[in-house]
Amino acid sequence: MLNAVLTVVGLILLTVGIVWLIDKFVPKKAKPILNILLWILIIFLGYLTFDSVYGEIKFNQLKKKRYMVVIENLKDIRDAQLAHRTVTGKFSNNFDELVTFIDTAKFTITQRKDSTIIDEELTRRFGGVETTKDIVIIDTLGFVPVRDSLFGADTRYKTMMNVPIGKEGAKFKLEAGKLPNEDIAVFEASVDKDIILYDQDQNLVNKEKQVVAVDGVNGPTLKVGSMTEVYTKGNWPKSYNTKKEE
């Protein structure tokens, strides 16, 4: 944007300079017409400058509003995935499976207690001298539905796979698996910025997809999780959160 503004401003200054030269050296009869044409050009270039600046401001405002709506869905997907890993030990790569899991699965409520018991092996080894060891006892207290824990009476999880704003009918891309050569579960849910900003100026969208900034959503997608590292957060800055991250 800065380069475009500087270019237009340069053209305006050049035009003003031409007006001054005309005023100095062009015959009086021709001056009125040339001056009018040049001032029209100056006004037009001024409009282009304003439009380029204001257009990008409006784009950035709309972009942030749409991202914040999409982020809420990505948080629901992340919470559902973390619950799925807690119960099953892995993430899901299928939204239908994830929804069914939320509808049917339960968290196990346990209680952990430290205790001391006689270590029979060491007792025998030491000729009958009573020897003890510390152990941890885990008692199951009950079960709580995953759905109630995450969403209560809200059924929004049933549509969390749909991109809530932007191109109609679009869905998030969902991947899950394990890191190469490691037994560590990972997942990633993402949507291309082209889908969220489908009806905006393509030049501004292309520029947004190349963003690398502390206060921006870096890269061509808005996403949560990662398929290349142990990471379950999103790629958006804190300023895009509408409620406190848990």
SS3 140: strand
**In terms of Cα–Cα distance, which of 171, 220, 187 is closest to 78?**
187
- Select the more confidently predicted residue: 75 or 143: 75
Q: Interhelix angle for 2-25 vs 31-88, to 10°?
A: 180
Over its C-alpha atoms, the chain yields an Rg (Å, rounded) of 31
Report yes or no: 189 and 172 within 8 Å, Cβ to Cβ: yes
pLDDT digits (tens, 9 = 90+) for 10-47: 666 666 666 666 666 666 666 677 667 666 766 776 66
Highest mean pLDDT among 33-37, 137-141, 242-246: 33-37
pLDDT of residue 244: 47
Report yes or no: 173 and 191 within 8 Å, Cβ to Cβ: yes
User: In percent, how much of the chain has pLDDT > 90?
Assistant: 52
- Select the more confidently predicted residue: 106 or 30: 106
What CA–CA distance (Å, rounded) separates 49 from 83?
A: 51
Q: What are phi and psi of 53, to 5 degrees?
A: -75, -50
Quote the Cα angle for 80-174-98, to 5°.
Answer: 35
Confidence of residue 111 (pLDDT cuts 50, 70, 90): low
- Select the more confidently predicted residue: 153 or 43: 153
pLDDT of residue 137: 65
Q: What residue ranges do the domains of the chain occupy?
A: 2-54, 60-105+155-240, 107-144
Task: Give the containing element (helix H, strand E) for 72.
Answer: helix 31-88
User: In percent, how much of the chain has pLDDT > 70?
Assistant: 70
What CA–CA distance (Å, rounded) separates 125 from 100?
A: 53
SS3 16: helix
Helical ranges in the chain per DSSP H? 2-25, 31-88, 95-104, 120-125, 146-150, 193-196, 202-209
Hey, what are 178's tokens? Answer: 């394990």
pTM of the predicted structure, to 2 decimals: 0.71
Confidence of residue 157 (pLDDT cuts 50, 70, 90): very high
SS3 148: helix
pLDDT of residue 230: 93
Average pLDDT for the chain: 83
